[in-house]
Structure 1
Amino acid sequence: MAEEQFEGENYHTAAHLYINAAINYQNAICQKFLKQIPSHKQHSDTSYFDELRNTLGSELQKYADAYKFLVGYKSQADYGTELSFNIAKQIRRRARTIKEIAEHLL
């Protein structure tokens, strides 16, 4: 769905969907490996990432950087009026990073 929105030049909607998908992957990883899902009100809280160190291994920094970038745009995607093509493209790329790493774990 996000890819369809992106290809249809609905960049803000696409970015919103990419971010939410990445958060869903994050929730799935936390549910599987930490036996809990982080509070939805605190997406930007990544203090528990150290607990995922063994799970993510050498991908931890790449994963954490991508996730932090995405949640940095969450409020703007949820409540803002428009995200540009360039920002949406960066969001898509980082959401793909989350997806690729998560799919190997889940």
Structure 2
Amino acid sequence: MVLKKAAFYGEPVEDTEEWNPDARREDAIASELASSGLLDATEVHVTVKGEEARLTGEVYMREEIAVAGNIALSVEGIKRVRNAIRPKQRHLRSSGKEDDARAQSRTL
């Protein structure tokens, strides 16, 4: 096994210990959302002030909104979540099946 220094887009990863508590909680929530496998959080934005997290952005399925809120609430130090995530507006294509297939693939 080869161990490499942690990098993000070729840049060294910052020392998160120097971040303020709000930034560390934002990072923790974003990491949990990204790794959960229960939702596509690529367009979800997280901000934290004190013990409150605010989630904004869009997801494909309405069910993912509640999942994101529960994940954020599970992070240590978060007591309240303001969930302003919205479902993506479906753009009607010739048959509309592409959106349905994309949404269903994440529910397996």
Question: Does the TM-score normalized on the shorter chain lie above 0.5?
Answer: no
Normalization by structure 1: what TM-score? 0.32
Q: Return the TM-score normalized by structure 2.
A: 0.31
Q: By percentage of residues, which structure has more helix?
A: 1
